[in-house]
Structure 1
Amino acid sequence: MAADVPDRVTTSRATARPGDTSPFALGLLLRQAHWRAASVMTEALRPLGIELRHFAVLIVLMDRGPTVQRDLAAATGSDKAGVMRVVDDLERKGLAVRRTVPGDRRVRVVEITPQGIELFDAAHVAAEPQAARLAAGLGPDEAEQLKELLTRVAYPTADDAL
């Protein structure tokens, strides 16, 4: 008995090369751009003694203030164990502290320290030339346009959401 063979695919296959017309092209380009941006920003953070995963938590703490660990995990796209390791690192470096939540000793809230705020600000200064390097191939208005477009992809409106 012959197996059913699907009709030959007529659409382009994903290659991850520039000009790819497959339905995966946007996702592949976003992944490649993320890897490049992460590499460039890692260079900016390295002299400060932190990694992107640490900075991601500091961003959430600066944005939201004291935050429970499970919410940090959700906000950074990490799992609970991963975020706990990052918070352990930040505590060892004096950049964040854990505090118990009144009324529930099992829950810990994480808070950025004054030293963490100083490092956060220093990271922004260190990242400026790296960010310029990252956008060097773009025209004067293109970097802002790219940020606007990526914002719409990353944060769709209710009408556009999946």
Structure 2
Amino acid sequence: MAAHASSRDAAPRASDRPGDASPFALGLLLRRAHWRAAGVMSEALRPLGIELRHFAVLIVLVDRGPTVQRDLAAETGTDKAGIMRVVDDLERRNLAVRKPVPGDRRARAVEITPEGLELFDAAHVAAAPLAEGLVADLGPDDTEQLMRLLTRLAHPGGREV
């Protein structure tokens, strides 16, 4: 039993502190960076009356156009019930609307409204100075390199999801 305990003690301990050699270090650092970035972006969206989950749907709608709810759920990492609540919220605010899908009586495509597009643009204006602050400790070359590396990590082999 003592040999088992000592081999366990020799394994690197997972943390997100600088110099962590654990196999979990990258994931933990990405999680911490995500929390920080999400907090900053939430701050930008708060005065506009929406949350990140709403904005994630607006991003997909601007990028892809009208999109069925199941695809919105997949694109945003939201479950079926969660995406329904988000789309309900967006509809209540007149930021998006559900429309029938030709040839499929059960499916509804979600489409951004002109008001939704206006809010989408306003969110970018509000987020710009906060996003700059998020990377203020990095130089311009570092910020560009971080974006390139994260893009490669998020889309391996240059594939888009």
Q: Which residue of 2 aligns with 1:61?
A: 61
* Number of the residue aligned with 2:50: 50
Q: Aligned partners of 1:158, 1:47: CA distance in 2, in Å? A: 36
- Name the counterpart of 2:133: 133
Count of aligned positions: 157
> Residue 98 of structure 2 contacts residue 110 of structure 2 at CA under 8 Å; is this kept in 1?
yes
- The runs of 5 or more residues in structure 1 that have no matched partner are none
Cα distance in 2 for residues equivalent to 1:17 and 1:141 = 23
For residue 8 of structure 1, what is the aligned residue in structure 2? Answer: 7
Q: Deviations over 1:108-130 (max 9, x none)?
A: 10000000000000000000000
Change over 3 Å in CA distance of 1:131–1:158 after alignment to 2? closer
* SS of residue paired to 2:90: helix
**Which residue number corresponds to residue 96 of structure 1?**
96
- The verdict on how the C-alpha distance between 1:116 and 1:158 changes in structure 2, with shifts beyond 3 A counting, is closer
C-alpha deviation, 1:11, in angstroms: 3.2
Matches of 1:110 and 1:6, distance apart in 2 = 55
Amino acid at match of 2:123: A
Alignment of 1:1-162 (within 5 A): 5=4, 8-9=7-8, 10-157=10-157
AA partner of residue 15 (structure 1) = S
Task: Provide the identity percentage.
Answer: 73
Determine the C-alpha separation between the residues in 2 that align with 1:5 and 1:34. 36
> Secondary structure in 2 aligned to 1:54?
helix
Distance 2:139 2:4 in 1: 48
Question: What is the CA-CA distance between 1:103 and the residue it aligns to?
Answer: 2.2
